[in-house]
Amino acid sequence: MIRIDSSIHLFIESTNQCFNESILMKPSPVTPNPATAYGASARRWNWRRALAPTGNAGDAIFRGLLFLAALLLLVIVGAMVGSMASNSALSLKRFGFGFLTGQTWNPVRDEFGALPFIYGTVMSSLIALFIAVPLSLGVAIFLVEQAPRRLARPIAFLVELLAAIPSVVYGLWGIFVLAPVLREYVEPPLARWLGWLPLFQGTVTGIGLLTGGVILAIMITPIITAVVRDVLTAVPVSQREAALALGATKWETTRVVLANAASGIAGAIILGLGRAIGETMAVTMVIGNRPKISASLFEPSYTIASVIANEFTEATDDLYLSALVEIGLILFLVTFIVNGIAKLLVWSVTRGTSGTARAT
């Protein structure tokens, strides 16, 4: 009775463990797989059985067609990687790993280094996460844990609408609304109060890393929110009831839920990161497009996706084109890996609650 909050802490720890164990021990997804019902599950790959496990010609054709469609998808992705790898061979051979650390991007002298773009991409994405993560967590918690259902649904819909706005529209809005607002009302105070940090020094222009990051933050907030919402919904109600029964306040209950959903939330954040990295148009329109690394967030920068959008149609030189394609390849691989990690993390929480996991 004396230390209520410590008992709650203990509770958090223990439920956390239980939950993780229950996930780890779950043998298979809840949804029964229809294929199993037909006795079609083949341990080893056998095309004959794979195509016609029921011995029906119609089935074989049907299955073959579907299989072709699925295969085509793999072929396309394979072709993507293949064509990009072969088109970037020249640059790969010439620069090797130095490409990743080179700071000069000079088409005139055939010097190509991707570091300024990598820096711009990473920094703008970090700014975006810095703003979007707390915001999205707040919205998701509000929607799942606090808002009455009647209020939660329309708000959730409105937040998701933010994700429906096209990138180029964000860019347009960024140029004409956000950039001037940041230049007049946000960046000068930042420079005044935090100007001792190298991050906030230099000329205030409204076009630069900060604006790119803020636009990205708005764009990834609905994505992170949606996934966190799914993840929180997937945490069993019993966890909340147990916490409440121990006398926890609403916020303490929420913390129990958050702790249980931690890996899924991490997945949601990484998913947002993946989206931020690959975003093109909006960032291109507000980031200033200069391949130079500078400490200040007010300075113009350049991202991987933007340099492709700006320079791809006009790279006349073979090596130049090859370097651009290599940058595209890097972007492809990085987003592929980041998204893969995110998916695995989100699955670890939502698995078993069939159908609520989102494709995007």
Partner 1 sequence: MSFSQKNSRAISALLCVAMLSLFLSGCSGERVGGGALPGGGNAGDSGGAIRLQGAGATFPNPLYQKWLSEYGKLNPNVRIDYQSIGSGGGIKQIQAQTVDFGASDAPMTDDEIRKSPGELLHVPTVLGAVVLTYNLQGVEQPLKFSPEVIADIFLGKIKRWDDARIKADNAGASLPAADITVVHRSDGSGTTAVFTDYLSKVSPEWKEKVGADKSPQWPTGQGGKGNEGVTGQIKQQPNTIGYVELAYAVQNRLPVAHIKNSAGNFVEPSIDAVTAAAAATTSSLPEDLRTSITNPTGADAYPIASYTYILAYKEQKDAAKGKALVDFLWWGIHDGERFAKDLQYAPLPADVVKRAEAKINSITSGGKTLRAAQ
Partner 2 sequence: MQASVQTKDKRRRLTSAVMTTLTAACAVFVVLVLVIILGYIALRGLGSLNLEFLISAPKPVGEGGGIGNAILGTLILLLMASVVGLPLGIATGVYLAEFGEGRFASLVRFVTDTLTGVPSIVVGVFVYTLIVLPLKQFSAMAGGAALALIMIPIVARTTEEMIRLVPTSMREGALALGAPQWRVTTGVVLPAAASGIATGAMLAIARVSGETAPLLFTAFGSRFFNFYLDQPIASLTVQIYNYAISPYDEWHAQAWAATLVLMTLILSINIVVRFFTRKKF
Site for partner 2 in 69-128 (CB under 8 A): 69-70, 72-74, 76-77, 79-80, 83-84, 87
Q: List for the chain the helix, strand, coil content (%; round to 5).
A: 75, 0, 25
Tokens standing for residue 148 = 């009455």
Closest CB to partner 2 among residues 26, 250: 250
- With contacts defined by CB under 8 A, name the span among 74-82, 99-107, 159-167, 237-245 that binds partner 1: 99-107
Cα 80 from Cα 83, distance rounded (Å)? 5
Calpha distance 243→18 (Å, rounded):
14
Give residue 250's identity as a one-letter amino acid code: K
Check residue 240 for interaction with partner 1 (CB under 8 A): no
C-alpha–C-alpha distance, residues 11 and 148, integer Å:
26
Binding residues for partner 1, total number by CB under 8 A: 32
Give the sign of the dihedral formed by CA 292, CA 297, CA 301, CA 304.
Answer: positive
Q: Judged by CB, which is closer to partner 1: 171, or 267?
A: 171
Q: Whose structure tokens read 């996460």?
A: 129
User: In the stretch 240-279, what mask flags binding to partner 2 with x, by CB under 8 A?
Assistant: ---------xxxx-x----------------x--xx-xxx
Contact 289, 306 (CB under 8 A): yes
Among 138, 188, 189, 198, binds partner 2 (CB under 8 A): 138
State which of residues 275, 311, 324, 328 lies at the interface with partner 1 (CB under 8 A).
Answer: 311
- Whose tokens are 């059985």? That residue is 49
Nearer to partner 1, 28 or 56 (CB): 56
Residue 108 lies near partner 1 (rule: CB under 8 A): yes
Restricted to residues 328-357, the positions that interact with partner 2 (CB under 8 A) are 328, 331-332, 335-336, 338-340, 342-343, 354-355, 357
| CA nearest to 261, candidates 226, 236, 225 | 236
Contact residues: partner 1, CB under 8 A? 65, 104-109, 175, 179-180, 183, 202-203, 205-208, 284, 288-291, 300, 302, 310-311, 313-318
